[in-house]
A and B are shown apart, each in its own frame.
Chain A
Amino acid sequence: QKEVEQNSGPLSVPEGAIASLNCTYSDRGSQSFFWYRQYSGKSPELIMFIYSNGDKEDGRFTAQLNKASQYVSLLIRDSQPSDSATYLCAVKDNYGQNFVFGPGTRLSVLP
């Protein structure tokens, strides 16, 4: 059973701070990793994907991947109240097409 784990939160950070969201996965065969953001009552939308060890930056977002530790994280710099949402980590291997989603971390950015 492939598992993806996240701290459910809520994670509260002040506006302007760095929010750090973490995700661990059980399947060593996992090859690609996705972060989705889901606002309350809305559908998930992709923020970033990463498939190489190291960091990947896109604007205020940085995804970090460590395959040896089976760990992926998302950093949000200069957090804004509009970043308040649930962040879902998803993991995929190269053999299947389906994703395995984590339970999500609820982030609250306080003005």
Chain B
Amino acid sequence: DARVTQTPRHKVTEMGQEVTMRCQPILGHNTVFWYRQTMMQGLELLAYFRNRAPLDDSGMPKDRFSAEMPDATLATLKIQPSEPRDSAVYFCASGLSPQGPYNEQFFGPGTRLTVL
């Protein structure tokens, strides 16, 4: 069945280490979103792509975060170096474009990141 997959599901690392999270969007979807969710900030958009091109990454700390789509079936979010304040659940979501009022987003299960 069609669903967004994310790996790893859990990641514990030490401050300063590089973290890479991966997302496989639903086949045929051409938009991919990265979100971060914490108790304090809620669900924050970090970046999104359409047809593999980055459209908006203004929500992402540029000095340590990077997002890419090397191909249509893989999106990556990298943090280097990681810091304790990066501890959160990172969700990937995918959807369809062109623009429409009711294009929904389908969420993956998330990656729970803990930076010690």
Contact = CB atoms under 8 A, between A and B. Distances in A.
A32 interface: yes
A103 B42 contact: yes
A31 B56 contact: no
Interface in A61-111: 88, 92, 94-104
Given A32-B102, A44-B43, A97 B48 contact: yes
Interface string B28-65: 00010101000000110100101000011000000000
Contact of B45 (A32, A42, A88, A99): A99
A92 to B, nearest CB: 8
- Size bin of chain A's contact surface: 20 to 34
B104 A49 contact: yes
Given A94-B99, A95-B99, A98-B33, A43 B43 contact: no
Interface string B92-116: 0001010111111111111000000
A51 B101 contact: yes
Interface of B: 31, 33, 35, 42-43, 45, 48, 50, 55-56, 91, 95, 97, 99-110
Query: Which 4 pairs from chain A and chain B are nearest by CB?
Result: A43-B107, A32-B101, A103-B42, A101-B43
